[in-house]
Structure 1
């Protein structure tokens, strides 16, 4: 395998020059990409509706085409799922990425064109390896296999005669991977695409335990469960006794910060690398490109044109989006994308902030609908994850999962935040953890601090420590096990918190 590792390492490093080009000429690359997208789609139904053929400038594009939510895009998507074509994009659409539905209560179905598979998702996967190899030229990554902890896919139930398919984005990618990529991954495709998560994790564990796994890609929540299952089945004290050559975990979908200490206990070596990606149903957007960094390089040549809505514009009926050259550092923006799958000025629902403008690097800060702002405190997911990480460090606790929501004002009662936390290692006391969490949030978020001052609008947070497996069982009850599904961190309503508390009372 040494020769294969040398050849693939050399091949991966060749892409770095192209990445350096879009880093040097970001605006030019994005402008050219927008022109290509508009030109390609000008004869689609959507392109004719908005007269793409006459659009010559970005300003015309911005003024003519309104920003679309998923709900506004869905009527087009529904027709595609029933077999109609040339609606949003000219090439055949037969694959749909099913999201976890965290933006709203139902699942979302995102069209995935062949161009998006090849020029975005596959390219993103290759670039992830290229950037990693460039940072670690002595890597032995390709001497073993990459373990992908992904989802499942199935025949499109809306219209089987349309021969269209849907599944988690990870499953859609795995099903369509080229032969060379299939060769360097594990488990078998049959196992990887199993639908029943509980059966799948057992089979995943048994099948991969005997494989020389050098790297893992997946969502931290589900990867933890797989590692624990393998250690249990193999009767080992550490996953390194099973996979001694494991060197990197490529992770995404949720912040890794609250999980870091848990992974370090499961993989007890300082040599282990943790490398972040930003890959969603709608596209592959960012890759960590520096060692020990929490910043993601925004990938600009994947067939995706980016715009950004300033956070203060989000409540407006017609928010004004900015192009890449107009953004500023350390401000919160909602991402808007136009893609080579036919999403046009689509509000992704994610929020980011720029940490660098040369090159363009970002950090994910949350979701446009995942926040707590019942009292003007404006707590976003990034705040919550940073605060809970600090509280864990201060108390020696290790968490597995959490969610939080407001307790609204009632007559004679003040408002507060209520947290449900599943600990792997409990803090000395819950009041001590609550204090550290509260103090951390106050130091991170000035609006929260102002509302907490002298218990003006908020009193100290309330924390429930729940037994191991609570979030797993809750996700199972909701039909959200495995794949890209993730626990919603924050909500401005009490839907999730009340549902979990009700489940706890029932048991």
Structure 2
């Protein structure tokens, strides 16, 4: 029965590859057909009537008529929808809201998840993720075992019969039959709200299962896997799960963690990156040995892009997908099948390929350091740290960085708080290599570092073991999709972390 079910599930998923190939071949046509469908579907909503969706026939009309928006622009509207109002941004009533928790900021965002976006975006993209993997590994037997998902929790919003929580918890709660069959742990365990209790229960419930797939945010998965090794007093995960084959991860950059993962697996394991956010499932890694991601163009999301050099303008330039260029930084703008219209997500990407459209996540529109004109983005930081760790034989567990402001006596600098898994033998050498790599990757940083006139060398503060974990715990951000903010243009995160002893 187990093998029959495995073959049936595999066959069901494999069929998706033809539809993926279709949108790869017809990207522009599919995107414009999609925006017309979204407009038509929402034409009788409050938003659709306000902006006269009935009259919109072409993309140019849509782009001229509908304003760009950020979360604060629609916060009050979403509050009404959370209280049960229907037909506001999207037809019908929306029951689920993904609570955005990317940082320790107490001002949470509640992103609507319609039944359309749940099934025609998130689950559909999940099938495509698996279909791509099977296509790349035709001899795989992942469906003859279990997929372990590491998710968050959700709660009822007052008495309005709407719910909010981590995106992962919403998707686990509503899993389609094919996904529920292969997934562990049981929903009641997966949705435990208290992270440390969940972790203990999860270890005991999954330890003796035939796990072949792992899904989750790589930083939290790593904590779980180390807990599992401690439970069994083993050094390698393969000693516990001999058939483990692939990890699908997203949420944070995998590069700072890859060495730690490789250290706990004794045989070949595949790592596949995904770009899944509360607003939608945007992209998946579609090639075995390349890290860029295939943009999903037929999953209920219409894409536009703002060149980052234009982002802070009052009326920034916005372009559709056929006008993007290679290796330029863009802010993503989406219109979705959950009622987000020309919504600025907050992520920045660059295109690595235009046929098909593949992207690399380069950072956040608000996660950077530009206090001195250096324009340091996350992509620079991650690449520089990776090379620095290789050259100093060190491993970083977590980090964050921000500015030290210029004063009357000193130039400015960047302060880095780093929690090492393996410490460098010489911290000054580590600092010098990091500084050198940042100069190589970022000409603006290099200019500001010239003769220490504006920027002094980086200041490295070594964090004690568990400091970032304790910080997240203090702000009730353990588990789920929560993550440490990597770069900040102010000292908010630095100062709050440094206060924890």
Question: TM range, normalised to the smaller chain?
Answer: over 0.9
- Mapped contact 2:104–2:477 kept (Cα < 8 A): no
> 1:62 offset after TM fit, Å?
0.5
Indicate the SS of the match to 1:284: strand
1:402 aligns to 2:402 (yes or no): no
Distance in 2, Cα, partners of 1:400 & 1:354: 28
CA change 1:12–1:278 in 2 (3 A) is same
For the 8 Å contact 1:103–1:349, the answer to whether it is kept is no
Matches within 5 A, 1:475-490: 475-490=472-487
2:108 aligns with 107
- CA distances 1:222-281 after superposition (whole Å, capped 9, x unpaired): 101100111101111211111111111100011101111011112232x10000000000
2:443 pairs with one of 442, 446, 454: 446
> 2:489 is matched with which residue: 492, 497, 500?
492
User: How many angstroms apart in 1 are the aligned matches of 2:176 and 2:18?
Assistant: 23
Instruction: Answer whether contact 1:103 1:369 (CA < 8 A) is retained.
Output: no
2:308 aligned residue: 311
| Offset from partner CA, 1:32-60 (integer Å, 9 cap, x none) | 00000000001100111111111111011
Distance in 1 between the 2:92 and 2:139 partners?
41
**1:252 and 2:250 correspond:** yes
Aligned 8 A contact 1:310 1:332 in 2: yes
Q: Deviations over 1:369-396 (max 9, x none)?
A: 0000011110001111111111111111
Describe the shift of the 1:104–1:26 C-alpha distance in structure 2 as closer, same or farther (beyond 3 A): farther
User: What does 1:58-457 align with in structure 2 at a 5 Å threshold?
Assistant: 58-102=59-103, 105-157=106-158, 160=159, 162-269=160-267, 271-457=268-454
Contact kept? 1:309, 1:321, Cα under 8 Å: yes
**Alpha-carbon distance in 2 for matches of 1:386, 1:203:** 36
How far the C-alpha of 1:456 sits from its partner, in A, is: 2.5
Query: Contact (CA 8 Å) 2:104, 2:475: kept in 1 or not?
Result: no
After superposition, give the CA deviation of every residue in 1:313-337 in whole Å (9 maximum; x if it has no partner): 1111121210000100000000000
User: Residue 495 of structure 1: CA displacement?
Assistant: 0.4
Aligned equivalent of 1:468, options 465, 468, 474: 465
Give the 3-state SS of the residue equivalent to 2:406 in structure 1: coil
Distance 1:102 1:47 in 2: 33
Unaligned runs of 5+ in 2: none
- 8 Å contact 2:81–2:93 — kept in the other structure? no
2 CA distance for matches of 1:274 and 1:453? Answer: 39
Cα displacement (A) at 1:439: 1.0
Measure the CA separation in 2 of the matches of 1:245 and 1:467.
35
Q: Distance in 2 between matches of 1:104 and 1:59?
A: 36
Distance 2:356 2:92 in 1: 33
Q: CA RMSD in A?
A: 1.0
Offset at residue 2 of structure 1 (A): 2.9
Query: How does the TM-score come out when normalised to structure 2?
Result: 0.98
Taking the aligned partners of 1:286 and 1:426, their CA distance within structure 2 comes to 34
On the 8 A contact 1:101/1:108 being kept in 2, the answer is no
Secondary structure at the aligned position of 1:92 is classed as: coil
Contact 1:156 1:166 in 2 (8 A): yes
Q: How many residues align?
A: 500
Please give the alpha-carbon distance, in whole angstroms, between the structure 1 residues aligned to 2:371 and 2:151: 35
In the superposition, relative to structure 1, how do residues 91 and 340 fare at CA in structure 2: closer, same or farther (>3 Å)? Answer: same
